[in-house]
Chain A
Amino acid sequence: MIRVEGLTKRYAQNLAVDRISFEVEKGRIVGFLGPNGAGKTTTMRMLTCYMPPSAGKASVAGFDCVSQPQEVKKRIGYLPETPPLYPDMTVDEYLLFVGALKGIPAGELARRVSDVEERCAVADVKAKLISKLSKGYRQRVGLAQAIIHNPDVLILDEPTSGLDPRQIMETRDLIKGLAGDHTIILSTHILQEVEAMCEQVIVIAKGQLRAIETLDSLIARGVGAVDVEIEPREGELNFPMVKKVLEQTPGVTTVTQTGEVRNNRVRFAVESSAGHDARGDIARAVVGANLNLNELRSGLEKIYLELTGTTPAAAVPAAAEETEA
């Protein structure tokens, strides 16, 4: 559905996107993961024909983004980071305008508009001015705008940024509901988002492609490193005992404390020998030692940080403590 080959974007001095190649199959939800400034937005803008690439090729549904932009644009729905809304229009007026702009025949327009209003849960504010809407509603109107012409491909730039937790959940559900009919690329710098929604992950950093993997294989890479939070069931925390319990768990190679002991709780990063899933053993060992296991997560963060090549801020004080001990 989407094919990108050696895509490059060069601004005067700096290289925003550096020879990225990937392919996305039809009907997939793909997460575009990378830190801020990695080149996610630039790549998306090239895919949507907003700007031409400096070098390389991109094609959507078999149409080239440079030589057949009109065909590509017809098949793409795009939600930029800030939804492109006109504050002095009502939701109805806005969607009618966008619908006409995207080439929906006049006879079908009204029906399509009420369709997407229903689908994106904005029907109750359809007569309101967009300037009066809350951020969550604006985001959903932005989504409605992107899907109004029923495009093959949806490109969403940080669709949940700046929303409250409830709105994030609603937006994620909405996007997941759109998969299947549409191929979706969404960018994010939040790991949980990828975990919650995507089937495939494309990691980029500093304009370069770092990994293309399915979510499962990424998680499989993550099981070797687990983050745990432990709290004694009663009494004071016995730090050496807790650490010993973890270290003696079969398969575990290293145990590193991350962060300070706070509220009688302690966090560790536990690594096990390659390819070994020690999560069950860790859980059993901790509970067996009369401790509460507050949290156990596979260390996707670690892989993310490794892939994107940035140093985690939290790991620095932890390392310092280790040398002191």
Chain B
Amino acid sequence: MRNIWTICKKEMKSYFSSPVGYLLLTMFALIIGFFFWNVVGYFAMMGQRQMQMGGNMNVNEFVVRPLIQNMSVVGLFLIPLITMRLFAEEKRQGTIELLLTSPISDIEMLVGKWLSAVFMYGAMVAFASISFFFLFAYGNPDLKPMLVGFLGLMLQAGALLSLGLFISTTTKNQIIAGSTTFGVSLLLWTFEWVAGYETAAWAKVMSYISVIPHFESFARGVIDTKDVIYFVSLTFLGLFLTARSLESLRWRS
């Protein structure tokens, strides 16, 4: 346990001893802030029209849900930036030799690194979510579905970060690690498109593999066991691949 924390703390520090951490926080908050401004603007206009017709609009459905969905998509683009250096940089610097000859297990090392990435993403989500508090000041959104949305964001990030971690072990070049992770994330996002025109078994499988359909229920504020299992098992797959990759690193290097 202590070893995991040692590694995790060191990684967290290194995000913030370079501009990377601040940049990620700022970019994510800026993008989500802009989205928030747009969504709220649109909501205000539509709300007035609805009122004239005597209807009512739900803040959760028209503001929170699209925003959380957008956060999930923007996250896909930023996740490679979080994970790309985790192992690639250690390999380039030669510090991997220090880690691999220290009395800690590979599992502790990779879990520590993965946790630090999850914390980093969590910090980005928390910072960007300041906007949401304004909704409570001027309206009465429902908190619970919002929290479920955040849970979904973290589960999705945990899965993609573990894949990014694995990809980072395969190279000493951060750019290669980052762009490969980006490609994989993007494909996992778009795989569900095939479901739009094909109903064969392979299309069903592809759309099931895709991240987006599993995220939708969380954005709506619903916890579906099927989707939780999907994200958790994807996380374990990523961490398992990382462990195997570290082991093969020892044999090959």
B-binding residues in A (CB < 8 A): 45, 48-52, 70, 73-74, 76, 78, 80, 82, 84-89, 93, 97-98, 100-103, 145
Shortest C-beta distance, A16 to chain B (Å), equals 11
Are B101 and A49 closer than 8 Å at their CB atoms?
Answer: yes
Shortest C-beta distance, B6 to chain A (Å), equals 4
B199 at the interface (CB under 8 A from A): no
Please pick, from A76, A80, A97, A98, the residue contacting B97 in the complex, using a CB distance under 8 A: A80
What is the total number of residues of chain B having a CB less than 8 Å from a CB of chain A? 25
Please count the residue pairs between chain A and chain B whose beta carbons lie under 8 angstroms apart in the complex: 66
Are A100 and B6 closer than 8 Å at their CB atoms?
Answer: yes
8 inter-chain pairs at a CB distance below 8 angstroms, sorted by A residue, are: A50-B100, A51-B250, A70-B105, A73-B103, A76-B101, A84-B96, A88-B18, A102-B103
Are A51 and B253 closer than 8 Å at their CB atoms?
Answer: yes
| Residues of the A chain whose Cβ atoms lie less than 8 Å from the Cβ of B13 | 89, 93
A48–B99 Cα distance when bound, in Å, is 11
Are B95 and A86 closer than 8 Å at their CB atoms?
Answer: yes
Interface string of B5-29 (1 = CB under 8 A from A): 0110010011001100000000000
Shortest C-beta distance, A103 to chain B (Å), equals 6
Given the interface pairs A50-B253, A97-B6, the reply to whether A85 lies near B104 with Cβ below 8 Å is: no
Q: What is the interface of chain B mostly: helix, strand, loop, or mixed? A: helix
| Residues of the B chain whose Cβ atoms lie less than 8 Å from the Cβ of A85 | 93, 95
| Residues of the A chain whose Cβ atoms lie less than 8 Å from the Cβ of B97 | 45, 50, 78, 80, 84
Given the interface pairs A51-B253, A100-B6, A101-B6, the reply to whether A88 lies near B17 with Cβ below 8 Å is: yes
Given the interface pairs A51-B250, A100-B2, the reply to whether A84 lies near B93 with Cβ below 8 Å is: yes
Are B102 and A73 closer than 8 Å at their CB atoms?
Answer: yes
| Residues of the B chain whose Cβ atoms lie less than 8 Å from the Cβ of A80 | 94, 97-98
3 tightest A-B contacts by CB?
A84-B98, A73-B103, A84-B95
B251 at the interface (CB under 8 A from A): yes
B48 at the interface (CB under 8 A from A): no
B3 at the interface (CB under 8 A from A): yes
Please pick, from B94, B104, B253, the residue contacting A101 in the complex, using a CB distance under 8 A: B104
The B106-161 residues at the A interface (CB cut-off 8 A) are none
Shortest C-beta distance, B245 to chain A (Å), equals 15
A142, closest chain B residue (CB): B98
Given the interface pairs A88-B18, A89-B17, the reply to whether A48 lies near B101 with Cβ below 8 Å is: yes
A-binding residues in B (CB < 8 A): 2-3, 6-7, 10, 13-14, 17-18, 93-105, 250-251, 253
Shortest C-beta distance, A283 to chain B (Å), equals 47
Are A74 and B253 closer than 8 Å at their CB atoms?
Answer: no
Are A98 and B101 closer than 8 Å at their CB atoms?
Answer: no
Are A102 and B250 closer than 8 Å at their CB atoms?
Answer: no
A106, closest chain B residue (CB): B2
B5, closest chain A residue (CB): A100
Are A86 and B14 closer than 8 Å at their CB atoms?
Answer: yes
Are B2 and A52 closer than 8 Å at their CB atoms?
Answer: no
**Known pairs A50-B100, A100-B2, A100-B6. 11 more at Cβ < 8 A?**
A45-B253, A50-B250, A51-B251, A73-B101, A84-B97, A84-B98, A85-B93, A85-B95, A87-B93, A88-B14, A89-B13
Shortest C-beta distance, B13 to chain A (Å), equals 7
A74–B18 Cα distance when bound, in Å, is 31
A63–B14 Cα distance when bound, in Å, is 35
| Residues of the B chain whose Cβ atoms lie less than 8 Å from the Cβ of A48 | 101
Shortest C-beta distance, B55 to chain A (Å), equals 56
Are B3 and A101 closer than 8 Å at their CB atoms?
Answer: yes
Are A84 and B94 closer than 8 Å at their CB atoms?
Answer: yes
Are A97 and B10 closer than 8 Å at their CB atoms?
Answer: yes
Shortest C-beta distance, B99 to chain A (Å), equals 8
| Residues of the A chain whose Cβ atoms lie less than 8 Å from the Cβ of B17 | 88-89
| Residues of the B chain whose Cβ atoms lie less than 8 Å from the Cβ of A88 | 14, 17-18
| Residues of the A chain whose Cβ atoms lie less than 8 Å from the Cβ of B102 | 73, 98, 101-102
| Residues of the A chain whose Cβ atoms lie less than 8 Å from the Cβ of B6 | 97, 100-101
Shortest C-beta distance, B22 to chain A (Å), equals 14
| Residues of the B chain whose Cβ atoms lie less than 8 Å from the Cβ of A98 | 98, 102
Shortest C-beta distance, A187 to chain B (Å), equals 14
B3, closest chain A residue (CB): A101
A186–B98 Cα distance when bound, in Å, is 17
A52–B252 Cα distance when bound, in Å, is 10
Shortest C-beta distance, A86 to chain B (Å), equals 6
| Residues of the B chain whose Cβ atoms lie less than 8 Å from the Cβ of A87 | 93
Please pick, from B7, B95, B101, B105, the residue contacting A50 in the complex, using a CB distance under 8 A: B101
A85, closest chain B residue (CB): B95
Please pick, from A50, A86, A101, A145, the residue contacting B93 in the complex, using a CB distance under 8 A: A86
Which of A48, A93, A100 counts the most B-chain CB atoms under 10 A from its CB? A100
Shortest C-beta distance, B113 to chain A (Å), equals 13
A85–B99 Cα distance when bound, in Å, is 11
| Residues of the A chain whose Cβ atoms lie less than 8 Å from the Cβ of B103 | 70, 73-74, 101-103
